[in-house]
Chains A and B, each alone.
Chain A
Amino acid sequence: MSKKTIQDINARITDGSVHVVTAEEMPGIVAELGADGAAREVDIVTTGTFGAMCSSGAFLNLGHSDPPIKMQKVWFNDVEAYTGLAAIDAYMGATQLSESRGMEYGGGHVIEDLVAGRSVDIHATAYGTDCYPRKLLDTTVTIDDINQATMLNPRNGYQKYNVATNCSDRTLYTYMGTLLPDCGNATYSAAGVLSPLYNDPTYQTIGVGSRIFLSGAQGYITGQGTQHDPTNNFATIMVQGDMKRMNKKYVRGATFHGYGTSLYVGIGIPIPILNADIAQATAITDADITTNVLDYGVARRSRPILRKVTYEELKSGMIDINGKEVTTSPMSSFHDARAIAEELKDWIKKGEFYPTLPVENLPNTGVVFKPMKQMGEQPTVADVMAQRVTTIRQGLTVEDAARAITEGNFNHLPVVSDEDKLVGIITAWDIAKAVAKSKRDKLDDIMTRNVVTADTSEPVDTAARKLELHNISAMPVVNKHSKVVGIITSDDISKLVARR
């Protein structure tokens, strides 16, 4: 079996004889020459990905002011950065929102502005100490005015990611973009065939100290990413790089409508082809990489898996979900992922970039990715709902409803059919309006027919979100036969929250 060392490869970079290809070109080469032949022929395979990586941010050192300040709080263009560090260091997180502009502008945009050379306003406050007497600071800087501007992303470059769709009946705004109701679309991320970690799934050449392409500069992998989950092919890396050397093309602040801000980061990892096994791994194609389509309509940790798909199907633009043709959208740019793999290839060919072997490999086995440990039981709708609920039969009059409401001293009256199924709801306000308009006969004319309901096993937090979204103060709780088994009000929920 053909074997090479990293020194052999780097010597070829120096003498200009190195053979570099991108991960898109490699499957063809392995098919033609076999893994061993490909390993002899190719020295390095380059990968690339360019997409939203929320778990991103930057350490920024502002230098000392006179008189000096120990920043207790600091804002860059009205976006707060973390200052629980020494006096004038701050960490700007990509998803922090602007205090005045909200989701329109966030930490990701501040980082983009700095890399693009735009000036950024700084406002800092402090409590004042003997060594740092200053309490207030306002200034404007560009990236050239600050000392270190180090991008340090605790979790980037997912090996692959889930596909998001939405089987509920309303539009959802998520970190996977707008998800249309009734599985109207599906979104996915990651670069598939070019995916950095998928091309070396056992991380033989990827680990702490690996030199990489990070947003147009040379950066490094500093460790496993948070949530690193290699057992399920959801590995991630922690990376760092010098923002002053980055290319603004690959550092782009992003806004996901209704969700928040993020940062588009470009990562390219070179994979030195040391042996046939590594060559074989880089022969992976989109058809070989599978992932799950999840229903984001269910706001729980474990979302229902609707099916498995390959990246080849996803990239075709259409997938079948329960017999329905659903249009797919990537959230990351394959065009730019390819540009990154090409640019890295170019750097290596020109002798501007030398790959390194890791000083420590990323853990590949024995990593357990746990869900959060939660103390106490998460209360469900069944725990807080009122079980005694007065209902009224369809066909009765406004007057009957008014009587029921006044006698019972409540505001919401579910309307049920002869079969006891929920058909509508009446509020005290509906009755007041009806009376004012002298509409006193059939309830059917004034009741709301599209009733928002809750389910007994639903967590209280999802029920609370529903009330908020629909701007209502109560929901009937129904069983699977649409029979009313209780009612939950925003008052019940507030009382629960007050007790917590």
Chain B
Amino acid sequence: MKFILHATPEITPKPLIAEVILETGTLLNIDRADVKSSGGEVIIDVHQDRYNIVTAAFKKRGATITPLEQPIIKDDDECVNCGACISVCPTGVISFNDDWTVQMEIAKCVQCGACVIMCPQGALKVSK
């Protein structure tokens, strides 16, 4: 399961992620990290069995957690099933069904935004 870790400037300098990995003994996958002076935003992927333990450990350290259930949103009214978005996706989220409609395995999305730029119909959005 994926979630967004929001960290305020006060806690960003701390080795938050390393601490949580050590404390919970859980492997975390960092899909994307965006750290600015105004704080940090990291997308983390963790096995669903460990989701509660890991998010609790982050919360204890003052971070805010937003679950990322829909990392990428497709507007089906806008989508023409052209498939232009398929080849730019680095993690193979998008593919054709047998009937040439487009399907998305959204759990694999790392919110890189490449497909959003590619889509000629403006049908895709990464959720915030």
Contact = CB atoms under 8 A, between A and B. Distances in A.
A264 B121 CA distance: 9
A33 to B, nearest CB: 27
B80 interface: yes
B87 A328 contact: yes
A440 B117 CA distance: 44
A76 interface: no
A338 B100 contact: yes
B11 interface: no
Contact of B80 (A186, A252, A257, A328): A252
Interface in A366-393: none
Report the interface size class on chain A.
Answer: 20 to 34
Interface string B97-114: 001110000000000001
B65 interface: no
A332 interface: yes
A180 B115 CA distance: 12
B54 interface: no
A185 B88 contact: yes
B40 to A, nearest CB: 26
B83 A329 contact: yes
A329 B96 CA distance: 10
Nearest to A318: B87
Contact of B120 (A262, A326, A334, A335): A262
Nearest to B79: A333
Report the interface size class on chain B.
Answer: 20 to 34
B46 interface: no
A335 B114 contact: no
Interface in A314-366: 317, 326-336, 338
Nearest to B102: A335
B116 to A, nearest CB: 9
Contacts of A331: 82, 84, 120
B88 A180 contact: yes
Interface SS of chain A: strand
Contacts of B63: none
A52 interface: yes
A489 interface: no
Nearest to B78: A252
A178 B113 CA distance: 12
Contacts of A330: 82-84
B100 A329 contact: no
B100 A50 contact: no
Contacts of A215: none
Contacts of B87: 180, 185-187, 326-329
A219 interface: no
B38 to A, nearest CB: 26
Contacts of B126: none
A234 interface: no
A335 B118 contact: no
Contact of B121 (A180, A254, A327): A254
Contacts of B80: 50, 252, 264, 333, 335-336
A178 B118 contact: yes
Contacts of A333: 80-83, 100
B95 interface: yes
B86 interface: yes
Contacts of A77: none
A51 interface: yes
Contact of B117 (A187, A252, A257, A326): A257
B120 A178 contact: no
A177 interface: yes
Contacts of B83: 329-330, 333-334
B85 interface: yes
17 contacts: A177-B88, A180-B88, A185-B87, A187-B87, A252-B121, A262-B120, A264-B121, A317-B95, A327-B86, A328-B87, A329-B86, A329-B118, A330-B82, A331-B84, A331-B120, A333-B82, A335-B81
Given A257-B118, A264-B121, A335-B80, 8 more contacts: A257-B117, A264-B80, A264-B82, A317-B96, A329-B87, A333-B81, A333-B83, A335-B99
- Those 10 A-B pairs whose CB atoms lie nearest each other, nearest first: A185-B87, A329-B87, A254-B120, A335-B100, A335-B81, A327-B87, A333-B82, A257-B117, A334-B100, A333-B80
